């Protein structure tokens, strides 16, 4: 029994370390030099092509997540609500599923009502964001806020609320 309890404790501690939200300073400060968003492309679960080239001139947030990740699952309903609110203005979230299977992501996306493009994260897309921007992807969820000039204005590690994401979207539009 003691071994089982110890194993469960170690598993829980490892999981918390993997998905723990970072302190507020994990977001790239506004005064920092803005990095050009990396070029990426892929195919959404619905078969549509997704690319940074097609998003040129529009603000977007690339969100790396997994269906089994509690903080990821927590922030997705807010992202769905904000997608409804801002899609007509040219904004979109792009979900990039990592460490998950396509059948799991398809089922999760349908159940969660995800209304923005979701693609499976491959080495090329993950590598483009991991090695391109200070901080990269150290845990999930991680979100990259891209303004309409194609610059990454913030890298956010950990889940955010509807209000926090709405502020990021406003900043991406230049408000």
Strand-strand pairing, 92-97 and 60-65: parallel
- Number of structural domains, the chain? 1
Q: What is the CATH number of the domain that holds 30?
A: 3.40.30.10
- 141 prior amide bond cis, ω within 30: yes
Tens-place pLDDT, residues 57-94? 999 999 999 999 999 999 999 999 999 999 999 999 99
pTM: 0.80
Dump pLDDT digits (tens) for 14-70.
Answer: 333 333 343 333 444 443 457 899 999 999 999 999 999 999 999 999 999 999 999
Cβ–Cβ under 8 Å, residues 86 and 58:
no
What is the percent of the chain where pLDDT is above 90? 65
What pLDDT does 103 receive? 96
Domain interval for residue 118: 2-172
Q: What mean pLDDT comes out for the span 120-125?
A: 91
For 81, the 3-state DSSP assignment is: helix
3-state class (DSSP) for residue 97: strand
User: With contact defined as beta carbons under 8 Å apart, do 118 and 44 qualify?
Assistant: yes
What's the pLDDT score for residue 135? Answer: 60
Which of these ranges, 31-40, 54-63, 124-133, 147-156, has the smallest mean pLDDT? 31-40
Tokens of 61: 């947030």
> Does residue 107 carry a pLDDT above 70?
yes
Is residue 8 scored above 60 in pLDDT? no
Q: Average pLDDT for residues 123-146, to the nearest whole number? A: 83
Q: What is the mean pLDDT of the chain?
A: 82
Q: What is the CA radius of gyration of the chain?
A: 16
Q: Rounded CA gap, 46 and 37, in Å?
A: 24
């Amino acid at each position: 029994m003691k071994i089982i309890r110890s194993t469960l404790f170690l598993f829980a501690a490892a999981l918390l370390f993997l998905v723990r939200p970072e302190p507020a300073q994990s977001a790239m400060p506004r005064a920092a030099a803005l990095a050009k968003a990396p070029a990426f492309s892929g195919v959404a679960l619905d078969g549509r092509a997704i690319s940074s080239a097609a998003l040129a001139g529009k603000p977007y947030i690339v969100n790396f997540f997994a269906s089994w990740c509690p903080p990821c699952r927590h922030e997705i309903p807010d992202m769905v609500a904000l997608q409804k609110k801002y899609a007509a203005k040219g904004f979109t979230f792009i979900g990039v599923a990592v460490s998950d299977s396509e059948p799991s992501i398809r089922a999760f996306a349908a159940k969660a009502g995800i209304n923005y493009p979701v693609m499976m994260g491959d080495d090329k897309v993950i590598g483009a964001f991991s090695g391109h921007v200070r901080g990269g992807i150290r845990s999930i969820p991680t979100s990259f806020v891209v303004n309409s000039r194609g610059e990454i204005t913030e890298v956010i590690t950990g889940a955010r609320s509807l209000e926090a994401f709405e502020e990021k979207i406003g900043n991406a539009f230049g408000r």
